[in-house]
Amino acid sequence: MSEMSEHQKAATASPPFGGPEFRGWKSEIRKDSTTPPDWPKKSVMEKQLILSCVAFIAASSMCLAQTSPSPSTPTELPADATTITDLEKSAWQAYKNKQTRSLRKLLSKSYYGVYADGIKTMDMEVADMAKTDLHGYSLADFKVEFPNANVAIITYKATQQATSGQQDISGTYNSESVWVKKGEKWLNVFHTEIKTK
C-alpha cells in the first residue's frame, strides 16, 4: 500500500474539535486555501451601507410590529405621497431653524437615526441639532412606497451645506426615512443617510 502524504491525511481526517490538534488542522486548511491570507478590509462606505441595511431591516420590523391592524376596505388608500414628502421637508426645515418643538412633534418616541458616527435616539438627534449649522439644503428625487396603509418609506437625495461642531459635513447624501401612522398622525420612526462618493 502506498503511504498517504500529510496533505491527504489532513483532507481525509475528521477535524478534532478542541485542543492543539484543532489549531494544527485549521492551519493546514489555510495553507491549501484559495482565499488570500490578507483579505482586503471593508471600506468605511461598505460598513455604513451594511449598518444602514441592518438598521433599516430592524426599523421596518419594528414599524410593522407596532402598527395595529386596521380594518381595510377596498376604498381605504394610503396617504398621498405628497403628504409624506411634505412631512420630510418639514423635518429638514425644523432642523435647519433649530426648532426643537417642531422637530419633536414629527419624530416618534421610538425614533432611531443611523449615521456614520452612530445610532441616535430622538433626544440625541435633537441634541445634535443644537450643535449643527445647516446653512442650506436641497432635496430631490423623492420616491415614496407604502408597504401598508400605516407605513411609508421615503427615499431621496439631500444636498447640504452644513457644519457640526468644527467639522464640515457638506455634501450629497442618499437618504431614507420611515414614517408610521399612529392614530391620525404620521411620525418619523427611522432616518438614515449615506454620503455619496
Tell me whether residue 35 is in a domain: no
Q: Is the pTM of this model over 0.75?
A: no
User: Which amino acid makes up residue 111?
Assistant: Y
pLDDT level of residue 49 (50, 70, 90 thresholds): low
pLDDT confidence bin for 112, thresholds 50/70/90: very high
Is residue 116 a part of any domain in this protein? yes
Is 19 part of a structural domain of the chain?
Answer: no
Average pLDDT of every residue of the chain: 77
Whether 33 is covered by a domain: the verdict is: no
User: Residue 154 sits in which domain range?
Assistant: 44-62+79-195
Residue corresponding to grid cell 392614530: 183
Which pLDDT belongs to residue 30?
Answer: 44
23 in a domain, yes or no?
no
In this prediction, residue 46 carries a pLDDT of 60
Per-residue model confidence as pLDDT tens digits over 76-103? 445 689 999 999 999 999 999 999 999 9
* Cβ(167)–Cβ(128) below 8 Å: no
pLDDT given for residue 165 in this prediction: 86
pLDDT(14) > 60 = no
Q: Which three cell numbers stand for residue 58?
A: 430592524
pLDDT-derived band at 197, boundaries 50, 70, 90: confident
Taking the mean position of all CA atoms in its chain, how far away is CA 54? 6
Question: Which of the two residues, 15 and 126, has the higher pLDDT score?
Answer: 126
Amino acid residing at 22 = F
Tally the domains of the chain. 1
- Indicate whether 172 belongs to any domain: yes
Q: What percent of the chain has pLDDT over 90?
A: 56
pLDDT at 57 over 50: yes
Please check whether residue 84 lies inside any domain of the structure. Answer: yes
In-domain check, residue 107: yes
pLDDT of residue 68: 44
Query: What does the pLDDT average to over 166-172?
Result: 94
Residue 120 has pLDDT above 80, yes or no: yes
CATH number at residue 134: 3.10.450.50
- H/E run at residue 52: helix 44-66
Is 45:197 a contact under the CB 8 Å cutoff? Answer: yes
